[in-house]
Structure 1
Amino acid sequence: MPGIMIDVESQYCPSPRRPNSLELTSCLTLEMDNDLENNNNSINNNNNNEDNSSPFNRNHNSSRNKKKRRKAADIPEKQFNDLYRPTGEMLGNGSYASVQTYKNNHSNKEYAVKIIEKNNGRSRSKVFKEIEIFHLCQGHENILQLYEYFEESERFYLVFDKMQGGTLLANIERRGHLTERESL
């Protein structure tokens, strides 16, 4: 094969110390050069443990060309206000949250955003439990779909598809009742 040289000598070669290169039978040692430009990989009968051509013997202080890995913490997070802008329409208010209409800055689509303040005693675990429940109900035709959520230092933002047609109470009052199938 081109680029591979074999030097064979049959002699017994004990290995008292841990080898710093791959030792084969008949004292063949495989030493691979990491020289990618010359592609010089060779097999030599070399018992000299002081050889620095082996990649295992090289100075560990030499600089390597390592690719820096990005961690999730290194990726800049998008803030809610970078992606959405308020329309000023208040859809509802409750004891621990309010729901307002926001528009997506890119698609210009309207969404209903539930804003939960962190300082009102609502625990973080309860908010994440609510998010988990919406995730489990994903795809159900009669349950509002959670689009995405954000957690910032002072509040949570839960972004839902905005439903048209008014409140549930107004629909029941207008129609008189709902069928059993509609109420599921």
Structure 2
Amino acid sequence: MAKRREKDLPEVLLGKYEVGRLLGRGTFAKVYEARSLPEGSVVAIKVIDKPKIVGGDLGPRIIREVSAMRRLSDHPHIIKLYEVLANRSKIYLVMEHASGGELLARVARRGRLSEPTALRYFHQLLSALRFCHARGVAHRDVKPQNLLLDRDGNLKVSDFGLAALPEHRREDGLLLTACGTPAYAAPEIARHHAYDGARADAWSCGVILFVLLAGFLPFDDSNLPEMYHRIHRRDYRFPPWFSAASKRLISRLLDPNPETRITIDAVTDLSWFRRANSLGDHLSLLRSAIPRPHPRPLAAAAPPLSAPALNAFDIISLSSGLDLSGLFSSEGSVTNERRFMSTAALEMVVERIEEVSERLGYVFERRKEGGGGKVLGRWGAVMTVEIAEVAPPMLLVMVKLETGSWTEEQRHGDVSWEELKSGLGDLIFAWHKDE
């Protein structure tokens, strides 16, 4: 592996990765190619200077990116986050390496893509975004620069630094923060009104499909007020080589009214979209991206559970004095969080949480992997449970409660927390309440 590193980056990082050439740099980070010494696989490592993010405006982007990627790590068209490492001065995000580069570079080399090729990437993009939306994540910065390709030419969605997570939404599910790239961002974001993140992502998909087929943007003006006037007038022109079906779809995606704009889910019902199934099995993947309800499995049939081990960055970010989660800006939601330590077996902790949550009026859904899960029910709330191993046999259990349509008396959840704590009983080694 060719070596072109900065002087302050060692040849072998933390004894685990052999660092190679610089792949790119941004405002607050540099990305390097690296080789995992234990497995020999090639990865990408984003190197972030801690002084640039701690106590500044960039911290929320890093936390959002890590939080979103951890929720979305098992989709084939989303860049995987393998682990987060840290030392005194830097944070290292070890990610999947997309060796094919940016999709935008491929479009630039060819001028434009053929409709079958463009539709193949469009399938993969919608598959990834439906997966995100099903898990409460809106990307909010969908653009070709954030769409990468692997060595086989498959799409990989990256850069979740502006993503909105469930805890960033208001009680009505809408968002407020204006963000994204103007040429790709939905017009309702620029109006500083509450907006639906999934519908905003749908607008960006319309711009991207136009760019893939045309080779240029539908709206591109350095004068932003004038550009937004054009957007609201639908003042753009299709090149003559666009098919009638592609023009109809793009017109429905580039609807400046989010209430009448076609949703990503509805796109899958279009005949033009379904016919493209001959290009591969993208449609079945897309439809399977939404998890469906399933009966609670018997304990004997459930796969063995395992809790991920906390690394240095995890432990630092969870400590009371260096809690980076405080850098998040609130978008109207009300969140309560509790943590407790337990020396009981992982299976016993999960089973007890299932039992107690059912008594409290929730339905517990285990994840396919790991000891966490999601519980839905009481007063419209959503409770997420994360379990990690600090050091054998000590488990850290993090329980976060998102309010739904609670009354003011129910909003703080004191009764439910006490009931949960009482139900878990002797499994709790130490209980911590976040204020």
TM-score under structure 1 length normalisation: 0.51
Pick aligned residue for 1:118 from 31, 42, 50 = 50
Match of 1:137 among 64, 72, 86: 72
Q: How does 1:1-184 map to 2 (within 5 A)?
A: 80-87=13-20, 89-121=21-53, 122=56, 124-174=59-109, 176-177=112-113, 178-179=118-119, 180-184=122-126
Tell me the distance in 1 between the aligned counterparts of 2:77 and 2:107: 15
**Runs of 4+ in structure 1 displaced over 3 angstroms?**
121-126
Relative distance call for 1:111 and 1:90 in structure 2 (3 A) is: same
CA deviation vs aligned residue, 1:94-126 (integer Å, no higher than 9, x gap): 000010011112222211001111112455454
**1:52-103 per-position Cα deviation (integer Å, ceiling 9, x unaligned):** xxxxxxxxxxxxxxxxxxxxxxxxxxx952111212x111100000100111
Structure number with higher strand proportion: 1
Q: Deviations over 1:16-48 (max 9, x none)?
A: xxxxxxxxxxxxxxxxxxxxxxxxxxxxxxxxx
CA distance in 2, matches of 1:148, 1:129: 15
**Quick check: which one's helix share is greater?**
2
Separation of aligned partners in 2, 1:141 and 1:173: 25
CA shift in 2, pair 1:144/1:131, >3 Å:
same
CA contact (8 A) 1:150 1:158 kept: yes
Q: Do the aligned partners of residues 173 and 183 (structure 1) sit closer, same or farther apart at CA in structure 2, a change above 3 Å counting?
A: farther
Does the CA contact (< 8 Å) of 1:102 and 1:110 recur in 2? yes
C-alpha contact 2:13 2:19 (8 A) present in aligned 1: no
User: Residue 135 of structure 1 aligns to a residue in which SS?
Assistant: helix
Query: RMSD over aligned Cα, in angstroms?
Result: 2.2
Query: How far off is 1:131 after superposition?
Result: 0.7
Structure 2 counterpart of 1:68: none
Q: Give the distance between the partners of 2:73 and 2:94, measured in 1 at CA.
A: 14
Cα 1:131–1:119 change in 2 (3 A) is: same
Residues 125 and 153 (structure 1 numbering): CA distance in 2 closer, same or farther, change over 3 Å?
Answer: farther
**How many residues get paired?**
105
* Paired residue type of 2:39: S
SS of the aligned residue for 2:79 comes to coil
Greater shift in the superposed pair: 173-182 or 145-154: 173-182
Corresponding letter in the other structure for 1:144: I
Residue 384 of structure 2 is matched in structure 1 by: none
One-letter identity of the residue aligned with 1:182 = Q
The whole-number CA distance in structure 2 between the counterparts of 1:126 and 1:183 is: 22
TM-score of the superposition, structure 2-length normalised? Answer: 0.23
Per-residue CA deviations over 1:142-168 (Å, capped at 9, x if unaligned) read 210111111221111000111122222
What's 2:293 paired with? none
Matched residue SS, 2:67:
helix
Between the aligned residues of both structures, percent identity stands at 26
